[in-house]
Amino acid sequence: MDEKGGLLLIQQKDYDQVGIDAAVRRAFDHFGGASSLVKRGDRVLLKVNLVGRHAPERRATTDPSVVRAVARLLLDCGARPFIADSPGIDAFHEAAERAGFAGVARELGISCVELTDPAPLKTSEDSLFRKIDVSRLVLEADAIVNLPKMKTHGQMLLTLGVKNLFGCVVGRAKAAWHFDVGFDRDRFASLLLDIAGAVAPCLTILDGVVGMDGEGPTSGRPNPWGVVAAARDPLLMDLRLCRMMGVRLEDFPLYRAARQRRLPQCALNDADVAGDLPPDHVFSVRLPAQGSLRLLPRLPFLERAMTSRPIQIAERCIGCGRCAEVCPADALILGGRTLRFDYGKCIRCYCCHEMCPVRAIAFRESPLVRFSRQIERLVGWFR
């Protein structure tokens, strides 16, 4: 494996700071050392996963011990790290406080800032999109270290290194992108590829010590995968981990979009994996009830029937209104604590699910998907 190309997997069972410090140092050393990735005096943006106002124990956000370890290491080599993200709907400072990032920043004397001030990103020529704006802070940073959390994702199946960089898009503009791409997950994945390619973090360190599966990225269950993963290329990281998480590559929109562009990362090579776990290691994962039909071709007119609907669990609802506020398709009407979904408008982006603070929105598979699963099971029996 060459220094730039691979995925490093480090076993790390808990968030004990000494162990996390050692794992993070090992990750940097493996890719040539911190001083080869950043220069003295560089302003280095630590792109954490601050999906909302969640305590670290919910396992929806990057653990603060990982952020602390990376920031300290960069400070030691003379760089100027700062912590940054842009949550979809929550007030940044409150969310950063709750997730423990603001505390890490105070402790180390560095800043913890919201990504604001959109400016155009320079994307590749094969981009499907005319203009993508991200925060100016991203464009002006000397280097970016990407610090995602290992989670499942209702819409995109998994959220790992590439998806974390969608947070560079400022605040509500994220919802606008969801509306723009609509049902088309491959198109959304293509947008993610553009952003990740142009933002180009110098290193991605993924917190999979205790990640989240099931109804991620915010309402799933913690899963102690016991791993810190690192790669210079977040796409390579995601495609390798996708397979190790037992997901068919064909079911992962990011893979389909990368394959459409004939990106070399799609040719997975076992020699790309190094560290404590072999390339055939399997992380057990409970996937969200997303709905994929393997027996039928992927046809645009079937998208609506093939994709799980968001539904409300009314007894959990506290009537906060965040779901209706974040919905890019204006498909939700809240009356007291009762939600009415306009499924004709709904684009199945699951932003409502992601932003609900009390897990009061779940997924329901469509009858067509349920029927297909039964057929799949029958076919399996006769094989």
Q: Using CB under 6 A as the criterion, which residues of the chain lie in contact with ligand SF4 when the complex forms?
A: 310, 312, 317-323, 327, 329, 331-332, 334, 339, 341, 346-352, 356, 358, 360-361
Count of other CB atoms within 10 angstroms of residue 125: 4
Least distance in angstroms from the C-beta of 8 to ligand SF4: 36
Residue 176: DSSP 8-state: H
Residue 262 class from Cβ within 10 Å (0-12 exposed, 13-18 middle, 19+ buried)?
Answer: exposed
Least distance in angstroms from the C-beta of 342 to ligand SF4: 8
Least distance in angstroms from the C-beta of 147 to ligand SF4: 26
- In 3D space, the residue among 127, 131, 221, 133 whose CA is nearest the CA of residue 172 turns out to be 133
The helices-and-strands tally (H runs, E runs) of the chain is: 15, 17
Closest CB to ligand SF4 among residues 115, 347: 347
Q: Within 13 A of 21's CA, how many CA atoms are on the CB side? A: 7
Least distance in angstroms from the C-beta of 272 to ligand SF4: 35
Least distance in angstroms from the C-beta of 117 to ligand SF4: 26
* Residue 249 CA: distances (Å) to CA of 208, 238, 335: 20, 10, 41
Least distance in angstroms from the C-beta of 151 to ligand SF4: 18
Q: Is the Cα dihedral 23, 29, 33, 38 positive or negative?
A: negative
Closest CB to ligand SF4 among residues 144, 175: 175
Closest CB to ligand SF4 among residues 23, 332: 332
Least distance in angstroms from the C-beta of 214 to ligand SF4: 17
Closest CB to ligand SF4 among residues 78, 321: 321
Type and span of the H or E element at 119: strand 118-120
Residue with tokens 């399997």: 282
**Total residue count of the chain as it appears in this document:** 383
Closest CB to ligand SF4 among residues 205, 349: 349
- In 3D space, the residue among 53, 108, 56, 58 whose CA is nearest the CA of residue 83 turns out to be 108
Closest CB to ligand SF4 among residues 30, 153: 153
Closest CB to ligand SF4 among residues 41, 300: 300
Q: Is the Cα dihedral 273, 218, 224, 100 positive or negative?
A: positive
Closest CB to ligand SF4 among residues 188, 283: 188
How do beta strands 7-11 and 273-275 pair? parallel
361 token code pair: 């929105």
Least distance in angstroms from the C-beta of 21 to ligand SF4: 37
